Every structure is written in structure tokens, then in C-alpha cells.
Amino acid sequence: MAKEDTNYGLEANSEIKEIAAPVFDYQPLKPESFRPKIGLIGCGGITTNHLNAYRQDKLEVAAFCDLNADSAEKRRKEFYPEATCYTDYRQLLDRGDIEVVDIALHPGPRAAVIEAALHAGKHVLSQKPFALDLDVAEKLVALADEKGLKLAVNQNGRWAPYVRYIQLAIDAGLIGEIHVVNIFLNWDHTWI
């Protein structure tokens, strides 16, 4: 290919019209009447995103818990200065005013803390995976059902605009019958 042809296929074509994507509301529903106090268990890096979302939606985080007291204190100072800090998650779970716990721990101890939270009568939002074993996961789901509590797993991609757009486009019949979907994402998980 000659040097002058290095932009092959990249030059503007005035005959091609831009096709705008349909506008869909891709954000999750936000209940108007349920404004629970939240307790955060695990105050690592990802929780900055959680706390920004809670603050944006004007939800109250009443307590922070981390084995590293400095991590809990850092999040408290930055986001909710009136909150209380703990290093033992059981103290947070003992609080009657906290209805929801956001469990942002590493996978190893996560299932045991979720189980304790459900036994304490708390709704749970967990990082993924919420359990490392299918039998344990099924028991946690059954426990949440038995107690009448919500057990949600933070599938952050679920509400990402591109994923939600695809789901809504499928629901609207814009794509046709779907038999299988493969999504490949390359995220760095070396922190685990």
C-alpha cells in the first residue's frame, strides 16, 4: 500500500448518515418512600463509588465498618461525618436503626457476614460474587426469602448504559429473538 493510502477506510464519507440510538431510560428504579439508613461493611477502594451514589440519591450512611479503623474513618470524614465507625461488623449489625448493609468485603469472609446480616434482620447489598460456593449461595438466598429480606448482588454492569440499552432494545423487539449472548470484558482483578 502506498504511503498516501495509509488512511484507507478512515476518510469521511458524506453519503453515510448517522443513525442515532433510541433513547431509553436505563437507570434503576429508585423508591420514593423507602429511605433506609445504610451501614457499610468494608471500606476499600470500590466503596467510593457506592458512597458517591448514596450521597447523590440523598441516602444516609449511618455507620462504617472495616478491620482497618483508618479506612473506616477516612470514608466517614469524606462522605458522612456524622456516621459512626466500627472495626467489628457485629456491632454495626446490632444497631436497630440500620436497615440495609452494603457488604464490600473480599470474597473469602463475605458469605459469613451476609449470613450474619440476614440473621440480624438487615437487607443486604453484596459485592460479587456473594458466595464462592453454589450450595452456600443457595442457602443464603433461602435464608433471605425465609426472613422476608432483600439480598442483592451489586452487578455494576447491569445498569451500565450499554448493557441496559441492549436489554431494553431486546425487550422492545428491536433485535429479534435472542438465543445466546456472550459478553467479554477485560478488567484487572489482580487486587483480589
Active site residues: 128
The answer to whether 40 touches 102, Cβ cutoff 8 Å, is: yes
The answer to whether 127 touches 156, Cβ cutoff 8 Å, is: no
User: What amino acid occupies position 82?
Assistant: E
Say whether 100 sits in a helix, a strand or coil: strand
Give the C-alpha separation, 110 to 112, whole Å.
6
The DSSP code for 191 is T
User: Could you tell me how far CA 119 lies from the centroid of its own chain?
Assistant: 22
Place of cell 448493557: 163
- Exposure string (b/e) for 17-27, b if CB count within 10 Å is 16 or more? eeeeeeebebe
Give the C-alpha separation, 192 to 190, whole Å.
5
The string of DSSP codes covering 61-96 is: EEEEE-SSHHHHHHHHHHH-TTSEEESSHHHHHT-T
> Nearest-CA neighbor of 128 among 72, 46, 53, 52?
46
